[in-house]
Amino acid sequence: MNTTSIDPEIPFRTRLRPRWLPREMVVAPFLDPDTVAPRPTPRTALLINPFYPKDAHASFGKHVLTPTLALTSFAGATPEHWSVSYWDENLLHGRPPFDPMPEVVGITVHLTFAQRAYALAHWYRSRGSKVILGGLHILSCPDEAAPHADALAIGDGVQLWPRILADVGHGTLQPVYRVMYENEYREDPAPRRRLLPRKNFLTTTSLIATRGCHNRCGFCYLSTEGLRMPYRVRDVQQIVSEFAADDQPYAVFVDNNLGSRPEYLRALCKGMRPLEKIWSAAITLDVTDDPSVIREMALAGCTGVFIGFESLSDSNITGARKRSPRTDDYARRVRILHDHGIQVNGSFVLGFDGDRRDVFATTAQWIEENRLECATFHILTPYPGTPLFRQIESERRLLHRDWSKYDTGHVVFRPKQMTVEELEQGYGWIYQRLFSHTSIWRRRPDDWRAIAPYLAMSYLYKRSNRFWHLLIKHDLVHTVWHPLVEWTRRRHLKFRARLAMEDSPAWETHATSGSVVSAGV
């Protein structure tokens, strides 16, 4: 355990080193207004994940760890007589294709890349394609998006997409389609993962087993006004089959919270165990209420979890309306995960009303003391339509509505107990600190056998943005990472075999398993 405490003023005395950020990671590909495109080909659809600027503080690797399911999920519901293709602008392959010119272009829209989505929509519409916009931002701000689309898809794309294509076919496209997430999730088809470029992602197996969350934190997109997303699960066997069918050693669950119903998680783990694969997922810390669930996770191949700790202050947590264990119990719960060989990627929000200037040093200190292998920081961001947005807006603390800066890496509101500049400086400092050699070393696992894989993961994942840029640009992400992932899987198989044999608690007998794969997004 480290005892050296970090001086709370250090963040403000430290000069932040400029970070390397190549132009193509911040500027979207050029859309030439003079390009002459062929006439749209009937019954062809192109699905686009638009470009967004990358944060130089964080790892570029997270963008190619695993693909979003936004597009592949509803692509699975495409009628037989339509041909559909996929384009992710973040893979650095230049501007999206236009030969053949698609009859329909479906674009997923988040607030941070809404302007890029609108630019793409304009380019394709002016050349004859019908453009459909869907995704989180269309649900929050439909009026803003409407002028940019032929149709808006508000809510669940899986239900809407076949209807939209049928209406295009009949020439009866409506301006707005709307349906919430109240149907049976298990009736959805599997996402169409074969559309994905396999060589460009560490794994293409993004899985989703549940919808919704037992919490409704005031800052989370799940509390957006008008969003009805009751908790629903898919059948265990559906998930197991999808995991097996994609033929990758590693999966990332993109569920909001895979641990919302611990008994479902337990059943899912039992189902996945025979696959002998590894995976990571986002969960809430209350899953550790019952350590036997954590044991099932380890036995089923869980190497890492992404946990929204959000804050180390109970009043911030209560203020955000999050039901969470007391913060003075966080450390014990982290140990339960570590003792089962599960790495912890902690997510922390900075800038709550209760946060003062010392929050950066205190948070970094706690992360190092508790040896979190990885941490992700977010500047508190009021997403439009959420209770947090309404509160900050009514207090006249919003600085602007430039959504492109609502990416949790910029300050977009006036914090209560520090200045905007202090919050920005503290955010930059805490990332610099956590990526430093000193901090990486302080957070090494207790068990010496797990140190080498931990260091490999930290350096390859967190300190190699030039390397990531090269891999992404030259389509080498999968080729280079696959052997490391496979090695992790094999190590994990040995680890879980020992865990399964012994009756005594894992922490008495086990080395941590370690992983070269980051524990979540």
Site residues (CB under 6 A) for ligand B12? Answer: 49, 52, 62-63, 68-70, 73-74, 106-108, 110-113, 132, 134-136, 153, 156-158, 160-161, 206, 208, 220-221, 254, 256, 378, 383, 407-409, 521
The answer to whether residue 322 forms part of the interface with ligand SF4 (CB under 6 A) is: yes
By CB under 6 A, which span of 168-176, 216-224, 286-294, 472-480 interacts with ligand SF4? 216-224
* Residue 261 touching ligand SF4 (CB under 6 A): no
308 binds ligand SF4 (CB under 6 A): yes
| DSSP letter, residue 327 | G
Site string for ligand SF4, 93-132 (x = CB under 6 A): ----------------------------------------
From candidates 154, 220, 297, 380, binder to ligand SF4 by CB under 6 A: 220
Compare residues 409 and 453 and give the one whose CB is closer to ligand B12. 409
User: Using an 8 Å Cβ cutoff, are 162 and 77 in contact?
Assistant: yes
Closest C-alpha to 441, from 452, 426, 428: 452
C-alpha 319/C-alpha 159 separation (Å) is 35
Residue placing its CB nearer to ligand SF4 in the complex, 139 or 472 = 139
Q: Toward ligand B12, which CB reaches closer, 113 or 279?
A: 113
The residue (of 26 and 470) whose beta carbon lies closer to ligand B12 is 26
**Contacts with 204 (C-beta within 8 Å, 6 or more apart), sequence order:** 66, 67, 193, 196, 198, 246, 248
* Dihedral in degrees, nearest 10, Cα atoms 427, 428, 429, 431: 90
The CB-of-353 to ligand B12 minimum distance in angstroms stands at: 19
The yes or no reply on residue 256 touching ligand SF4 (CB under 6 A) is: yes
488 φ, ψ to 5°? -60, -40
In angstroms, the first-to-last Cα distance of the chain is 27
In whole angstroms, how close is the CB of 72 to ligand SF4 at the nearest point?
21
* Least distance to ligand SF4, CB of residue 216, Å: 5
Q: CA–CA separation, 41 vs 103, rounded Å?
A: 6
Q: Give 480 or 521: the residue with its C-beta nearer to ligand B12.
A: 521
User: What residues have CB less than 8 Å from 199, skipping those under 6 apart?
Assistant: 475, 476, 477, 478, 479
CB of 153 to ligand B12, least distance (A): 3
Q: Give the residue with the Cβ less far from ligand B12, 146 or 455.
A: 146
Rounded to the nearest whole angstrom, what is the least distance from the CB of residue 188 to ligand B12 in the complex? 8
215 binding partner (options ligand B12, ligand SF4, none; Cβ < 5 to 8 Å by kind): ligand SF4
Q: Which one, 317 or 412, has the nearer CB to ligand SF4? A: 317
CB of 284 to ligand SF4, least distance (A): 5
Length, in residues, of the chain: 521
Is residue 216 at the binding interface for ligand SF4, with CB under 6 A as the rule?
yes
213 touches which of ligand B12, ligand SF4, none (CB within 5 to 8 A by kind)? ligand SF4
- If one asks whether residue 217 binds ligand SF4 (CB under 6 A), the answer comes out as yes
What CA–CA distance (Å, rounded) separates 204 from 99? Answer: 26
Piece of the chain touching ligand SF4 by CB under 6 A; list 130-138, 160-168, 191-199, 210-218: 210-218
Residue found by looking up tokens 């940019």 in the block:
148
> For residue 129, which of 137, 121, 138 has the smallest C-alpha distance?
121
User: Which one of 56-64, 102-110, 114-122, 213-221 is the stretch in contact with ligand SF4 (CB under 6 A)?
Assistant: 213-221
One of 284, 376, 425, 432 touching ligand SF4 (CB under 6 A): 284
* Helix 330-339 with 291-299: angle, nearest 10 deg: 30
CA nearest neighbour of 338 among 472, 445, 227, 221: 445
What the block records as the tokens of 199 is: 């060589």
Beta carbon of residue 508, minimum distance to ligand B12 (angstroms, whole number): 35
> Any residues with CB less than 8 A from the CB of 171 and at least 6 apart, and which?
none
- What token pair was written down for 201? 């992602």
213 binds ligand SF4 (CB under 6 A): yes
215 forms part of the interface with ligand SF4 (CB under 6 A): yes
206-207 and 250-253: which strand pairing?
A: parallel
Give residues 16-45 in contact with ligand SF4 (rule: CB under 6 A): none
Q: Amino acid identity, residue 498?
A: R
Please, is 456 exposed, middle or buried when counting C-beta atoms within 10 Å of its C-beta (0-12, 13-18, 19+)? middle
Nearer to ligand B12, 158 or 361 (CB): 158
Using DSSP bridges, classify how beta strands 210-211 and 232-233 pair: parallel, antiparallel or unpaired.
antiparallel
Q: Which residues bind to ligand SF4, rule: CB under 6 A?
A: 213, 215-217, 220, 222, 256-257, 284, 308, 322
